[in-house]
Amino acid sequence: MTAAEDISVASEDRLRADLYNFLGLMLSGPPDQLLLDQCAGLSGDESELGKAISGLSRVAKASKPRKVESEFNALFVGLGRGELLPYASYYLTGFLNEKPLATLRSDMAGRTMTRAPNVYEPEDNIASLMEMMAAMIVGRFGAPATLEDQKTFFNKHIAPWAGHFYSDLEAAKNSILYASVGNVGREFMHIEREAFRMTTK
């Protein structure tokens, strides 16, 4: 059964899922030395996304976990709040826990997606949405999602705000390593948006 599911996910879709997972991991908490080493080992081609990945690799080589943890906290935690609020509700309405979160929870229930018991963040945070897309692509919640289903989810919950968030992350005053993460995320969101746009309705 698992083997059949493995075969049904094309290699390019696995690469997409890997990048979604990577962004989710980087945005869910500060990276440890192992993850920084993995970032440092990345290499990109001459495409815009490839150049962004190469840039992230260069910054990661010069980064230390303690410094990156301070950066992460300044960006996303802070005293009271961080420099950025990485939630769909905030970006789309100006407030937390608004209609975009309720809509997402309804769509999650329809796909039998549930929040992990040790996660207390609202589900519409950018890290969770990246992980959800990866899970849909590879079929972590059943059969891999069709391209049409992926497109629907992306256009509803990610496309309206994720590119803006990643641009803000690039430009944030506390961003060093995360400016590079923002660059990768912005380029990837652009590629995904264009690819979905070219798929038939």
CA–CA separation, 64 and 113 (whole Å): 35
Q: Using an 8 Å Cβ cutoff, are 170 and 64 in contact?
A: no
Q: Is the distance from CB of 169 to CB of 189 less than 8 angstroms?
A: no
pTM of structure? 0.93
Tokens 């990246």 found at: 130
Residue predicted with more confidence, 118 or 147? 147
Mean pLDDT of the 34-51 span: 96
Domains of the chain, each with CATH number or no CATH? 2-198 (1.10.3480.10)
CA distance 89 to 124: 7
Q: How confident is the model at residue 9 (pLDDT cuts 50, 70, 90)?
A: confident
Minimal CA–CA distance to 193: which of 162, 165, 166? 162
| Vertex 177 angle, CA 185 and 57, to 5° | 75
Percent helix / strand / coil, the chain, rounded to 5: 65, 0, 30
Q: Which residues pair with 87 in a beta bridge?
A: 125
What is the mean predicted confidence (pLDDT) over 91-100? 96
Q: What is the pLDDT of residue 115?
A: 83
pLDDT higher than threshold 60 for residue 4: no
Q: What is the pLDDT of residues 120-144, one digit of tens each?
A: 889 999 999 999 999 999 999 888 9
Residues 6+ apart with CB under 8 A from 73: 30, 82
* CB-CB neighbours of 40 under 10 Å: 15
Secondary structure of residue 94 in the 3-state scheme? coil
Of the candidates 117, 118, 127, the residue with the CA atom closest to the CA atom of residue 87: 127
Share of the chain above pLDDT 70, in %: 95
Confidence category of residue 1, pLDDT binned at 50, 70, 90 = very low
pLDDT at site 200: 64
Q: What is the pLDDT of residue 201?
A: 56
pLDDT digits (tens, 9 = 90+) for 154-194: 999 999 999 999 999 999 999 999 999 999 999 999 999 99
Q: What is the mean pLDDT of the chain?
A: 93
Q: Are 145 and 124 in contact (CB under 8 A)?
A: no
DSSP codes of every residue in 52-88: HHHHHHHHHHT--HHHHHHHHHHHHT-SSS-S---BH
